Structure formats: structure tokens, C-alpha cells
Structure 1
Amino acid sequence: MDYVKPLEVAETFLANAVSKSRLSVGQLLLRGFLSGALLGFATTVAFTATAQNLPPILGAILFPVGFAMIVVLGLELVTGSFAMLPAAWIAGGVTLPRVLVNLALVFLGNLIGGCLYAWLYAMVLTQFHHVPAAGAGTLLIAAAQAKTLAYQKLGMAGLGLSVIKAMLCNWMVCMGVVMGLTSRSTLGKIAACWLPIFTFFALGYEHSVVNMFILPAGILLGAPVSLRDWWLWNQLPVTFGNLFGGLLFVGLPMLWMSGIRETKRGEERIPTTQPEAVEA
């Protein structure tokens, strides 16, 4: 049968985390780079639809195309790893240094991919700055300001708001990872992971990797946002919120559902499998 039962999903979730922790530096950077760029593509598709005076909900329906490609290809998205790897560490299947190195490398790969696509997209949209940004470009400029300057105006409350929106976002994103494990077929994986990703995008929550495209793209297109604004008022608090939300709302529940109890740190009790095409 195509359907995978919840207990098997939880066990595979942790086994995949162990497999992910064993990927080489080059693989982590490459897979992270591709994921960052693919989410940039998906974001521009969603923004382009909205710029054509179509209902914003249509953009949210279209956006998961990027995540679906990441899941099917077994690429690396740091937001999904925020739930998987710390949970595997708590279960005793992965050492803490390996978790930290893995997350740092995937984060870097995602950042390079998102920023490179942002630069390429900005050059296409403005014809190498020969024409002003229009359509989706205007929306990106507005989004960059809303994701930084709007929080800045609220001060500490703005930081708290960005963290909460990031927690809620990664609850759904990591559920996308889990849902991708509920099916053995390609179409089943795509359909299952589509649901929570559509949900987070439609609600306007904060995703650190998506912002690795939106913020630099908005800055390149003319948004009055500095690098300090980007990192202080969005990237850092959103990354923390994604980490906390993914682990709290998805990683730990999957650990408890699996029934695996903690043993000596570094002892690999979790069965290792070849990573399925759901490595996001």
C-alpha cells in the first residue's frame, strides 16, 4: 500500500536524520544551495501571480512547488533539519558537534542559493538596472520593508512577533517533511507535503530560507533596508523561531511517537536507512 502508518513515519523521520548527519560537507552545501534557489523560484512564482491581480490565495497554492521539488529530490533545507537533527541527538543517534556542523553548513548553502537567485532575478527584472522594478519586484520591495522596518517600529515587541511567526511557520514546514513520509509514491509525497506548506504561506508566517531570497532581492531592487536591518530584525530572530518551533512542535512529538528512549550520548540506537526522497 502507498500509505505509511504513523509509527513507521516517526521511525523513518529519526532514521533519516541520522543519514542526513553523515552527508559530506560538499553534499550538504550543494543540496542546501539548490534548496535555497528553488524556494526563491517558488516565491517569485507566487509573487508574480499576485502581481497579476490574482487572489493572493492563488500564490499560496502555487508556492509549495518549490518545497515539493526539494522533497522529491532529497535536498537539504535547514528549517526541516531544525526538527530532525536535534530530535535524533536527544534520542542518542547523533552527536551534538555533528548536529551543529550540519545545521551550519546547510544554513550557509541555503543562504548562498537564495542570495544568488535574488541577484539573478533582480538583474532580469530590472534589465541590469536599466528599468525600474515593477510587478513582482514592487511586491518584493514592499515585503522586504514589512519583514524588517515594520518590526523595527515595534521594538522588542517586533522581535517577539517575528519569533512567534517563525515558530508557527516551521511547525507547518516540518509537518511538510513529516507528511512527505506518509506516502511511498512520488505523487503521494507531493500531495501530502503540499498541504502544510500552502498553509504557512497563506498565513504570512516567517520562513528563514524564504527570507534569504526576499530580503536580498528587495534590497537589490531598491528597498530602503540595510544589511543590519535584514539580520537584526528578521534573519536572526526568524532563524531562532524556526529552530524552536520545529523542534518543539514536530521534532519532539516524532521522537515520542517513535518510542525511542534516550541512551548514552553518541550511541546510534536509531536504525539508519538510506535517505528517502524527503530530506527537506
Structure 2
Amino acid sequence: MAYLAPTEFVTKMIDAGESKIFMSTRDTLIRAFMAGAILALAAAFAVTINVQTGQPLAGAVLFPVGFCLLYLMGFDLLTGVFTLAPLALIDKRPGVTIGGVLRNWGLVFLGNFAGALTVAVMMAITFTFAFTTEPNAVGKAIGHIGEGRTVGYAAHGAGGMLTLFVRGVLCNWMVSTGVVAAMMSTSLSGKVIGMWMPIMLFFYMGFEHSVVNMFLFPSGLMLEGNFSIGDYLLWNEIPTVLGNLVGGLAFVGLTLYSTHVRTGAKRKAEAAKPTLVAAE
């Protein structure tokens, strides 16, 4: 599992951010759509495991399979571009602008949402026999997740909103660490192991991931969840997106960049000459 030094993989992070900013609209949307869809399938897979085994750890251990697959196929999540794209701007890469960064974020958001929503509809159909019966056990569990993580936060007012935001920060701290960990290795096994650990952690801890939620909450609305679209946007998606932005950029992108690319001034050794003591 060949390992790259921090200065090498942080340079790869900047290069990746630059390439995403200059990617065509078509390619950006396709890659974002597929990333949202695959991550949604992984979320449905994990909830199914939790319901059938009664062991949340089992779902968390296996959920990263979706993240690993979408990353290895070169697809893009909003959480990843939150961390990578700004680095090309901060590094003053030619032609990179704030507008280019925002364009990339906007397109990836739309693509992720479309992909996650597509899978949400398809899974709702499978959970209800095309909406002809009540949701099965997994469908009901998804509906309850939507309630707990919208109106559940709202019940705590400002404290709930702060908790939601902080869980979004913690989530992308881990998810972006997974993105970076994949760049630390040049082997397939090294990349997968590097990604698996932080993604498992975020899922088991119940942190808030904006793209996973693009699947869970629309699904919940279709599966008899007792909350509204307004609840979803105000008491989950918007604060989660903001938390994900802060977590990925502040705790992963900027910290690595500031210490491995723009390093602090090195301490200069004093050119102290040995003192010669004249013999008397």
C-alpha cells in the first residue's frame, strides 16, 4: 500500500479541486448525479441492515461500500467539492475564480439531489409495491428517521439548530478526511482502507451528511413520515449544508493546505561558532 507524503497528497487535493472547477457542465452533472444515486443506495442498504439485524454498527460497518465505489469511479459529492475546490482558488491557480467555485458547488448540489431523489422514488416503490400498500419495516424506519432528524431538532429550538449544524461540521470533517485518505495511497486496497474508517465513523455516530439526507428525507415524505418539506429544508438540509461546508473546508482543506503547502517560517539555526578559549 504505497503511501504518499503529505506534501504530495495535498498537491493532489489542489489539482483535483482545479480540475473540478474547469469541468464541463455536462460532466459535472453526470458525475454528481451518479454520486448521489450510489450514496443513496448505500444509505438504503445500511438502513435495511439496521432493521433486519437490530445492530446499527453492522449498517455503519457496511455503509462505506457506497462511498468507496463512487469515489473510485470518479464521481463527485457536494461534501468533497466543498473541501477541494476552494483550495485551487486559495492557491491562485490560473483562471480559478470565486464564481467558478460557486458554479461547481451549485452544479454538484443539483446533480447529487437529482440522483438521490431518483433512488428515493425507486426505493419507495419497492417498499410499498408501487404505493399500493403501507411501507414495509424498512420504509417505516426511514420515515421515522425523517421525523426524528427534523421536528426532533425543532423541538429543541436554537439548541437543536446548533446541534444540527455541529453534526454537519463533524460529518464532513470525517467524510473529507475519507476523500483525502484515498489520495494518500496509490493502491486500490490502500485507498479503500483509508476511506472506510472515517466514513464508518460518521455514519455510526449519526452525523448529518447533506447528500445522504437528500435521500432519507424525500424518502421519508413518501413513506408516511410526519414532517413537511419546510421542516426538511429548514431543520435539516440547509443547516447541514452549511455545517458540511465549514467542517470540510476548515478542519480538512485549510488545515492541510496551511501546514503542508504554505508552511510556517522555518526556524533558522544560529550560525554559532565554537568559542575558542585561549590557553594562558
Match for residue 180 of structure 2? 178
The residue identity in structure 2 corresponding to 1:138 is K
1:31-70 equivalences in 2 (<5 Å) = 31-70=31-70
Distance 2:108 2:116 in 1: 12
Report if aligned partners of 2:140, 2:224 keep a CA contact under 8 Å in 1: no
Counterparts of 2:39 and 2:203, CA distance in 1? 12
Looking at structure 2, the residues matched to 224 and 139 of structure 1 have their Cα atoms a distance apart, in angstroms, of: 12
Residue in 1 that maps onto 2:124: 122
Report the AA paired with residue 66 of structure 1.
Answer: G
Q: Please give the alpha-carbon distance, in whole angstroms, between the structure 1 residues aligned to 2:91 and 2:257.
A: 7
- 8 Å CA contact 2:151–2:231 kept in 1: the answer is yes
Deviation at 1:130, TM superposition (A): 1.5
Q: Is this contact kept in 1: 2:16–2:85, CA < 8 A?
A: no
CA RMSD of aligned residues (A): 1.2
Bigger relative contact order, structure 1 or 2, given CA contacts below 8 A and separation 6+? 1
Q: Which residue of 2 aligns with 1:266?
A: none
Structure 1 residue 9 displacement after superposition? 0.9
Task: Tell me if 1:164 matches 2:171.
Answer: no
Asked if structure 1 preserves the Cα contact closer than 8 Å seen for 2:79 and 2:244, the reply is yes
Q: Give the counterpart letter for 1:83 in structure 2.
A: T
Out of 186, 201, 204, which is 2:203 matched to?
Answer: 201
- The within-5 A match list for 1:83-162 is 83-93=83-93, 94-162=96-164
Paired amino acid for 1:44:
A
What amino acid does structure 1 have at the position aligned with 2:18? V
C-alpha separation between the residues in 2 aligned to 1:99 and 1:72?
23
Q: Distance in 1 between matches of 2:141 and 2:234?
A: 22
Cα distance in 1 between the residues matched to 2:199 and 2:127 = 26
- Cα deviation per residue 1:110-162 (whole Å; 9 max; x = unaligned)? 00001110011001110011221122112101110111010111112211111
User: What per-residue deviation string (whole Å, max 9, x for no partner) do you get for residues 230-274 of structure 1?
Assistant: 10110000000000111100010121133248xxxxxxxxxxxxx
Shift of 1:196: 0.4
Worse-superposed segment, 169-178 or 128-137: 128-137
Counterpart in the other structure of 2:21 = 21
1:7 corresponds to: 7
Contact 1:10 1:257 survives alignment (8 Å): no
2:245 alignment partner in structure 1: 243
1:33-90 Cα offsets, whole Å, 9 max, x none, are 0011111110111111111134110100011011101110111101011111122212
Larger Rg: 2
Deviations 1:175-234 (A, max 9, x none): 000000011112221111011000100100000000000000011011021111110110
| Residue identity in the other structure for 1:152 | A
Aligned AA (1:165)? R
TM-score by length of 2: 0.91
Distance 1:224 1:117 in 2: 21
* Identity across the alignment (%): 38
- Native 8 Å contact 2:21 2:101 kept in 1: yes
What letter is aligned with 2:59?
G
1:231 equivalent in structure 2: 233
Measured in 1, the distance between the counterparts of 2:106 and 2:53 equals 39
Matched residue count: 261
Distance 1:109 1:260 in 2: 33
Q: Give 3-state SS (helix, strand or coil) of 1:92's partner.
A: coil
Residue type of the partner of 2:251? F
Runs of 4+ in 1 over 4 A off after TM superposition: none
